[in-house]
């Protein structure tokens, strides 16, 4: 299957950069890790915190480009395709958690199966935003994002949304709706919980609206300028509001949405200029190989990590890195980068053979 000739290469490159980044930050070699390769403990923002929101942003962009091919016309085949893909992504996310339980010797412990996570959030955001796009105008989509953020702001600010304990609005909501056994247990607040998905949907809609900017018929240079302006305004507005609402990835705070979508729009504008206008493409092939099969490679990396941990090979492998890099921070980072490159060894042959596995 060949990619359309009109497709912007920068979209695949940015998506590939986010997937490669997600693999690196999810696979530290040891307990010591540089701060920029760790998520913020609570309030704040690190480079590591950008990879998942950047992916949701670019998913919003590509959702617009995909649905625009049939003029956003509502039809049963389109709805069925959207719902099937959303359900498949969610089910694969649940399957990954089941594999992890099975590798721990609990294959029938469905009562412990985590129902939240990165893939379930991606599936929900994709499905909801796609169905909204088929039913609403582009202007209504933009207003919907603003309304969702406004409602979420009220809920977070009025119901302990910034408290890092069990009284947090997100924690209470997820325990009531999803159940204590089926959410993240390493912190009081599930970082991919159902409550925070309300804000993540608004996040994806902003990417969708940026996709409309990219798809417009104006000259590409004008579209880049509009995207850059929108990104700057979103980022600046988000940073201004942090005086009252801190940046917080774990609750996907409204300011986190504004700042990260703004930064993502700025990055995309820069990539479109460098790659699609200036034609500087040689450096981008590695990331493009990740970007054409993003979710497949993410799933493969998660499976590899589970099996490496299950068979007890990770301590020995990490010990090898420590023997080469005595500094545990360097060794941990080197392990993570090599793990990403191992996934790249799967990505590049698929890319060369134009094999695109769409999840």
Return the pLDDT at 6. Answer: 56
pLDDT > 60? residue 40: yes
Residue 11 domain-assigned? no
Whose CA is closest to 295, among 16, 42, 3?
16
Distance CA 210, CA 178 (A): 32
Q: Binning pLDDT at 50, 70 and 90, where does residue 104 land? A: confident
Return the pLDDT at 4. Answer: 38
Contact 113, 101 (CB under 8 A): yes
Return the pLDDT at 265. Answer: 98
154-157, long-range: CB < 8 A, 24+ apart: 155/195, 156/245, 156/251, 156/253, 156/254, 157/245
pLDDT > 70: percent of the chain? 98
Q: What residues contact 136, with CB distance under 8 A and at least 6 apart?
A: 144
Domain boundary among 279, 309, 331: 279
Helix, strand counts (H, E) of the chain: 13, 0
Q: What residues contact 322, with CB distance under 8 A and at least 6 apart?
A: 30, 328, 331
In this structure, are 172 and 209 located in the same domain? Answer: yes
Residue 6 domain-assigned? no
- Give residue-wise pLDDT tens across range 169-216: 999 999 999 999 999 988 899 999 999 999 999 999 999 999 999 988
In this structure, are 182 and 79 located in the same domain? Answer: yes
Q: What residues contact 319, with CB distance under 8 A and at least 6 apart?
A: none
Return the pLDDT at 1. Answer: 36
Averaged pLDDT, 47-60: 96
Residue 47 domain-assigned? no
In this structure, are 23 and 130 located in the same domain? Answer: no
Return the pLDDT at 311. Answer: 75
- Give residue-wise pLDDT tens across range 114-142: 999 999 999 999 999 999 999 999 899 99
In this structure, are 259 and 319 located in the same domain? Answer: no
- Give residue-wise pLDDT tens across range 4-16: 335 689 999 999 9
In this structure, are 112 and 160 located in the same domain? Answer: yes
Q: Binning pLDDT at 50, 70 and 90, where does residue 78 land? A: very high
In this structure, are 186 and 327 located in the same domain? Answer: no
pLDDT > 90? residue 231: yes
Residue 287 domain-assigned? yes
**Whole-model pTM?**
0.94
CB atoms within 10 A of CB 303: 14
What SS3 class is residue 336? helix
Averaged pLDDT, 32-58: 92
In this structure, are 270 and 285 located in the same domain? Answer: no
Domain boundary among 264, 279, 294: 279
In this structure, are 321 and 245 located in the same domain? Answer: no
Residue 12 domain-assigned? no
Tokens of 274: 């460098």
Residue 337 domain-assigned? yes
Distance CA 329, CA 34 (A): 6
- Give residue-wise pLDDT tens across range 235-281: 999 999 999 999 999 999 999 999 999 999 999 999 999 999 999 99
Return the pLDDT at 307. Answer: 86
Tokens of 215: 């798809």
Distance CA 34, CA 28 (A): 10
pLDDT > 90: percent of the chain? 77
Domain count, the chain: 2
Question: Hunting for tokens 């395709």 — which residue is that?
Answer: 81
- Give residue-wise pLDDT tens across range 304-346: 998 887 776 788 888 899 989 889 999 999 999 999 999 999 9
In this structure, are 114 and 176 located in the same domain? Answer: yes
Residue-number span of the structural domain to which 235 is assigned: 53-279
Return the pLDDT at 53. Answer: 97
Q: Binning pLDDT at 50, 70 and 90, where does residue 358 land? A: confident
Residue 265 domain-assigned? yes
Domain boundary among 247, 279, 311: 279
In this structure, are 248 and 337 located in the same domain? Answer: no
Averaged pLDDT, 14-35: 91
Question: Hunting for tokens 């699609």 — which residue is that?
Answer: 276
In this structure, are 272 and 346 located in the same domain? Answer: no
What SS3 class is residue 91? helix
Tell me what the pLDDT averaged over the chain comes to.
92
Return the pLDDT at 286. Answer: 93
Distance CA 316, CA 319 (A): 5
Residue 4 domain-assigned? no
In this structure, are 111 and 188 located in the same domain? Answer: yes
pLDDT > 90? residue 46: yes
- Give residue-wise pLDDT tens across range 144-181: 999 999 999 999 999 999 999 999 999 999 999 999 99
Tokens of 331: 């060794």
Q: Binning pLDDT at 50, 70 and 90, where does residue 3 land? A: very low
Averaged pLDDT, 18-28: 93
């Amino acid at each position: 299957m060949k990619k359309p000739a009109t497709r912007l290469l920068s979209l695949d490159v940015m998506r590939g950069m986010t997937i490669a980044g997600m693999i690196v930050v999810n696979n530290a070699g040891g307990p010591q890790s540089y701060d920029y390769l760790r998520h913020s403990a609570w309030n704040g923002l690190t480079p590591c915190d950008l990879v998942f929101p950047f992916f949701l942003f670019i998913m919003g962009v590509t959702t617009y480009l995909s649905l625009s091919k049939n003029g956003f016309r509502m039809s049963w085949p389109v709805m069925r395709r959207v719902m099937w893909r959303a359900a498949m992504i969610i089910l694969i996310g649940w399957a990954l958690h089941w594999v992890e339980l099975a590798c721990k010797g609990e294959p029938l412990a469905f009562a412990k199966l985590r129902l939240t996570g990165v893939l379930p959030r991606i599936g929900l955001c994709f499905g909801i935003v796609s169905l909204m796009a088929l039913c609403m105008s582009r202007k209504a989509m933009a207003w919907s994002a603003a309304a969702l953020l406004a409602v979420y702001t009220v809920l977070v600010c009025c119901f302990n949304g910034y408290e890092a304990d069990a009284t947090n609005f997100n924690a209470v909501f997820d325990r009531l709706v999803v159940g204590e056994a089926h959410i993240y247990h390493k912190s009081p607040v599930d970082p991919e919980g159902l409550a925070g998905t309300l804000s993540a949907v608004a996040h994806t809609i902003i990417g969708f609206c940026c996709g409309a900017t990219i798809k417009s018929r104006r000259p590409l240079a004008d579209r880049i300028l509009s995207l850059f302006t929108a990104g700057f305004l979103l980022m600046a507005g988000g940073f201004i509001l942090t005086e009252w609402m801190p940046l917080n990835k774990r609750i996907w705070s409204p300011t986190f949405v504004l700042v990260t979508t703004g930064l993502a729009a700025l990055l995309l504008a820069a990539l479109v200029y460098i790659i699609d206008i200036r034609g500087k493409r040689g450096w981008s092939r590695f990331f493009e190989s990740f970007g054409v099969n993003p979710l497949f490679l993410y799933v493969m990396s998660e499976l590899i990590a589970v099996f490496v941990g299950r068979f007890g090979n990770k301590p020995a492998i990490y010990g090898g890195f420590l023997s080469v890099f005595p500094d545990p921070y360097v060794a941990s980072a080197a392990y993570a980068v090599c793990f990403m490159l191992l996934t790249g060894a799967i990505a590049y042959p698929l890319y060369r053979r134009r094999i695109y596995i769409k999840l």
